[in-house]
Amino acid sequence: MRFLIPLLCFCSVLSCAAQSPGGARRILTLNDETTFGEFVKIFEAFENLLLSVPAETRGFVALSAKPGEIVERYKFIRKRMRSSPNLKRRLEVTQPGVHYRGGSWQQTEFWLLQKAARSPYIAETADFGCNVLEVTGPVSIDPKRTTLIFSTNHLVATWLDNPYSFRWTVIGGKINKGRGTRQIVVKRFAGMERVEVSLTVVGGEDEEELCQKTTSITTLVRKVVDN
């Protein structure tokens, strides 16, 4: 297969990488006509190459934004990384929807990076950043109002193997619409002086273990003042 030939030249590739400025070497570029099946075979060859060279050598895959299969390609690579801790430590892949600096790429690229070499493209959000988790809704309401809307702008990220999902909990009312989505409609129970809404976000990347996952908001019912 024409794409696999460069990956089989281990010695020449490593030699070129060591001599290139900064120790970064692009070893293969795929055109957008490459099928998903071809991509899988090419990635497996790249993975074998990466795991056969010295441990300080790292890999980098820049996924093209053009193919309609970019989400499936990203999910495939992430699955391989989770199943191989060694691969996870040594490989970086561009994430759909994230902007990168250091130039742009038009097609899928495979890179080898020597020790201390910088990644060819760097995410604008640095190595990793937590999503900001907040819930918006009314702070206070008139006693006659019984229907309330609460929402979050947190990402859904359908390209992930484990996309985000949303678990809402309401005290002082019940969810009439939107359970499991980013926006809910709540019916306040009669006589309640406050409605407490909590949101827990589940799913996402392994790196998000320490990110904020739960937040809440309280809506107060204004008291009627007798004249």
Q: Which single residue is written with the structure tokens 């309280």?
A: 218
C-alpha–C-alpha distance, residues 104 and 126, integer Å: 16
Encoding tokens for residue 64?
A: 């093209």
pLDDT at 14 over 50: no
Q: For residues 42 and 7, is the Cβ–Cβ distance under 8 A? A: yes
- The proportion of the chain whose per-residue pLDDT surpasses 90, expressed as a percent, equals 51
What's the pTM? 0.56
Computed on alpha carbons and rounded to an integer, the radius of gyration of the chain in Å comes to 24
Half-sphere exposure of 149 (CA within 13 A, CB side): 3
User: pLDDT digit string (tens) for 70-123?
Assistant: 878 988 998 899 889 899 999 999 987 677 877 678 899 999 999 889 899 988
User: pLDDT digit string (tens) for 165-219?
Assistant: 999 999 999 999 999 999 999 999 999 999 999 999 998 877 676 678 899 999 9
